[in-house]
Amino acid sequence: MTDTIFVTGLSIHARHGVMDHETEVGQRFVIDLELYTDLSEPARSDRLADTVSYADVVATTTAAFKNTNYRLLERAAGAVADAILANFPRIRAVKITVHKPHAPIAAIFDDVGIMLTRSRHP
């Protein structure tokens, strides 16, 4: 059985990108997370200790995403996935979507970004 904890629309200012102004000024990124785990125990116990704290996941995600400047979103999202899997043993897999709403693209677009999924057992 796989259940899901999710966080959507986490807005973080960071300095990722390949262009100079992206790394100097930075920009807003939006992150969506899906955390795959078994929620049967906390569904019975009603105890925070038996699940994964949303607040802790957000803090871990924010630190992993902001603390290093990456050229590629793929690497930034990979750092988040690595941090989540390292810090939350209850999580079996994570799906991360990183939206870059102000990407330096000479076009009108609704959204651009990357999605990746990582698990403990690939």
Q: Which residue has the tokens 């996935």?
A: 81
Q: What are the CA-CA distances from residue 36 to residues 3, 80, 84, 93, 95 (Å)?
A: 6, 15, 11, 5, 8
Give CA–CA dist 97/83, Å, rounded: 15
Query: Residue written as tokens 């999924």?
Result: 117
Sign of CA dihedral 70, 95, 8, 67: negative
d(CA 48, CA 60): 17
Residue tagged active-site, from 18, 100, 111, 113: 100
Q: Give dist(CA 71, CA 88) in Å, integer.
A: 26
95 is catalytic: no
> Which active-site residues does the annotation give?
100
